[in-house]
Amino acid sequence: MADLSDCWWEHLLRYSIMARLSKEPLFAEKAAAMGINIGQVEITPPTVRRKLWFGIQTTMAEIAEEGGWQFVPVAQETMG
């Protein structure tokens, strides 16, 4: 599998995330208070984001089952 950091879409995704974060008042205020330039922060690698998302989905499914609710997971192809 190719290194995702070399993919053009990963760079586009990073740019998109940075653009949105810099416009979010909460993040912009926190970053400014800490003297951090949002455009230069490190973004969590996609492999880690997918693992975290899978963990969240698993936990939500368990909570739904315990509560007797139906859990509708995200489409499998979005989980990578």
Residue 62: its pLDDT value, please? 97
The mean pLDDT of 47-57, rounded to a whole number, is 89
Domain boundaries, the chain: 1-43, 45-80
Q: What region, left, alpha or beta, does residue 64 occupy, with left being phi > 0 and alpha being psi -120 to 50 degrees?
A: alpha
Model-wide pTM > 0.85? no
47, 49, 64 from 56: Cα distances, Å: 14, 10, 12
The residue with tokens 């653009």 is 19
The mean pLDDT of 14-37, rounded to a whole number, is 88
Which alpha helices (H) appear in the chain, and where do they start and end? 8-23, 25-34, 46-67
Residue 27: its pLDDT value, please? 87
Are 53 and 70 a contacting pair, CB within 8 Å? no
10 has a pLDDT exceeding 80: no
How far is the C-alpha of 78 from the C-alpha of 55, rounded, in Å?
Answer: 14
Residue 33: its pLDDT value, please? 94
